């Protein structure tokens, strides 16, 4: 990431408590880990035949008692409330949640562009991610021109302005996604660098690489332009920005060399298969599995942020699995189809 880009980067406020310890946090997490689904719980989940089976599994694993969708939302809020409560350094929570704010911003900016059938905040609120760093209702007021931008936090107004400029420069809705996704990853990377935790820094580096790899495969399969490819790339992770750019149009041998150099050899087969039916979904599953393997490594730290964050992120992937099975039941997918989408936790 260039210094000029960093000079212009406004970060969300961080409220470090300067009390408590990661050892105390680890003790709390160890007592909660028994609630994770683990392999046996996931086996039961993916064999569930009725929506009622999902509700029973949620109860067993200490999710809030509510209807399915609300229970997942409330559990995600509870997990990040816990992180805020027990973590002595709040920047970890902030770095993870900035993506929820960017998701909400992208959705509301696109909605605000509509000439007709524009939804009110109440009509769209159920589609927004919670928790987030900024109050979505206040962000909506800023986007719709009702709120006072001069009184808002600079990082939020910067993101709004960036998204609007990206659209009006190109009149492409996708430009909003490209600009704001890139900025979200810049913010998360800067917060992680400031914290100086190698495990956390690597988590975001993996995330950026894997998203860039998906972009590469999609562009290659659809024969999109080099300009579109380069504009869509996130900041570099383990693979440098120059290497990512050079992969456009490269021979398979060179692509394999770059992937294997940083441990991404598992994705080599997609050089031939990505365009086949179902392969894009399998790629996303395998991409998530690389992240999950890294998250699992955090469990082996006796204390420190790694153990606590591994629990938070494991619950996130649990929720993804629950949504997959919910959709599978509603769409009557058989077990083989479900398992092709399963994210294996430890």
The residue behind tokens 């046996």 is 40
| Dihedral class, residue 144 (left if φ above 0, else alpha if ψ from -120 to 50, else beta) | alpha
DSSP secondary structure letter of residue 238: S
Which ranges of 113-238 would DSSP assign to H, the alpha helix? 121-124, 136-144, 154-170, 173-195, 198-222, 226-232
Peptide bond into 131 cis (omega under 30): yes
Which ranges of 8-153 would DSSP assign to H, the alpha helix? 22-32, 38-46, 51-60, 68-86, 91-112, 121-124, 136-144
Q: What is the CA radius of gyration of the chain?
A: 21
What tens digit of pLDDT does each residue of 292-317 get? Answer: 999 999 999 988 999 999 999 999 99
pLDDT at 8: 65
pLDDT at 169: 96
Query: The whole model's pTM is what?
Result: 0.94
- C-alpha–C-alpha distance, residues 198 and 310, integer Å: 14
What tens digit of pLDDT does each residue of 34-53 get? Answer: 999 989 999 999 999 999 99
Please check the confidence at residue 18 and state whether its pLDDT lies above 90. no
pLDDT band at 321 (very low <50, low <70, confident <90, very high): very high
What tens digit of pLDDT does each residue of 255-271 get? Answer: 999 999 999 999 999 99
Sign of CA dihedral 78, 207, 90, 87: positive
């Amino acid at each position: 990431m260039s210094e000029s880009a960093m000079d212009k980067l406004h970060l969300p406020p961080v409220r470090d408590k300067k009390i408590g310890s990661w050892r105390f946090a680890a003790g709390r997490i160890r007592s909660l880990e028994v609630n994770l689904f683990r392999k046996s719980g996931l086996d039961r989940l993916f064999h569930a035949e009725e929506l009622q089976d999902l509700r029973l599994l949620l109860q067993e694993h200490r999710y809030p008692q509510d209807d399915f969708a609300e229970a997942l939302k409330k559990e995600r809020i509870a997990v990040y409330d816990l992180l805020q409560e027990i973590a002595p350094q709040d920047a970890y929570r902030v770095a993870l949640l900035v993506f929820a704010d960017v998701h909400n911003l992208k959705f509301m900016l696109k909605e605000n562009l509509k000439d007709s059938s524009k939804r009110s905040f109440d009509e769209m609120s159920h589609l927004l991610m919670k928790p987030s760093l900024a109050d979505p209702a206040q962000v909506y007021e800023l986007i719709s021109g009702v709120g006072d931008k001069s009184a808002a936090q600079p990082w939020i107004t910067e993101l709004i302005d960036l998204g609007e400029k990206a659209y009006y420069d190109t009149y492409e809705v996708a430009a909003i996604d490209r600009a704001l996704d890139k900025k979200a990853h810049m913010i998360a990377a800067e917060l992680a660098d400031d914290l100086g935790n190698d495990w956390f820094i690597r988590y975001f580096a993996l995330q950026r690489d894997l998203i860039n790899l998906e972009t590469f495969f999609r562009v290659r399969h659809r024969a999109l332009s080099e300009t579109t490819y380069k504009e869509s790339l996130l900041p570099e992770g383990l693979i440098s920005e120059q290497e990512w750019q050079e992969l456009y149009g490269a021979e398979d041998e060179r692509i394999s060399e770059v992937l294997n150099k940083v441990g991404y050899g598992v994705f080599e087969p997609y050089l031939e298969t990505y365009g086949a039916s179902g392969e894009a979904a399998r790629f996303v599953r395998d991409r998530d599995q690389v992240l999950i393997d890294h998250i699992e490594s955090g469990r082996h730290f006796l204390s420190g942020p790694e153990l606590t964050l591994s629990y938070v992120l494991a619950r996130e992937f649990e929720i993804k699995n629950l949504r997959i099975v919910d959709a599978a039941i509603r769409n009557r997918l058989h077990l083989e189809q479900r398992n092709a989408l399963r994210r294996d936790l430890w």
